[in-house]
Amino acid sequence: LPAINLCVHFDSLHPAVYRYVVALPVQRVTLDFCRGSGMVETLEAEGFPATKELGAGVVDARNVWRSEEAAFALLQRVRRVVGDDSRVVVSPSCSLMFVR
C-alpha cells in the first residue's frame, strides 16, 4: 500500500462511510476518537482491516493537558479491536494547530 496516512478529524464517520474509508488503498487511517461521538462504537461494530495501521486519535488536541485517563481508556478499546499493537499508532485527535 502507498505510505499514505488518511486523517479523518473533527467528527465520527457514519458506518457506511467508515467501511468505504478503511477500504481505500492507504497504509494508515487516523480517526478522531475524542470528538467523534460514536467512533469507538463504530470501530468495535465494524472491525478494522488486518492490512492497515490505525492512527488512534485518542489525545484531545484541543486540550492536551487533560487527556491521560480518557486517552488511556479509549486506547484500550481501540487496541482490543485491532488486536495487534504494532498496527496502532497513538495520535492527536486533530491537528496540533489548536495548541497554544
Between CA 68 and CA 11 the distance in angstroms is 21
Between CA 41 and CA 24 the distance in angstroms is 21
What's the whole-model pTM score? Answer: 0.84
Residue identified by cell 505510505 is 3
- 46-78 pLDDT tens trace: 999 999 999 888 877 777 666 677 778 888 988
Between 88 and 34, the higher pLDDT residue = 88
Rounded percentage of the chain residues whose pLDDT exceeds 90: 35
Over range 11-36, report the average pLDDT. Answer: 90
* Local confidence band at 25 (pLDDT 50, 70, 90 cut-offs): very high
Q: Is 8 helix (H, G, I), strand (E, B) or coil?
A: strand
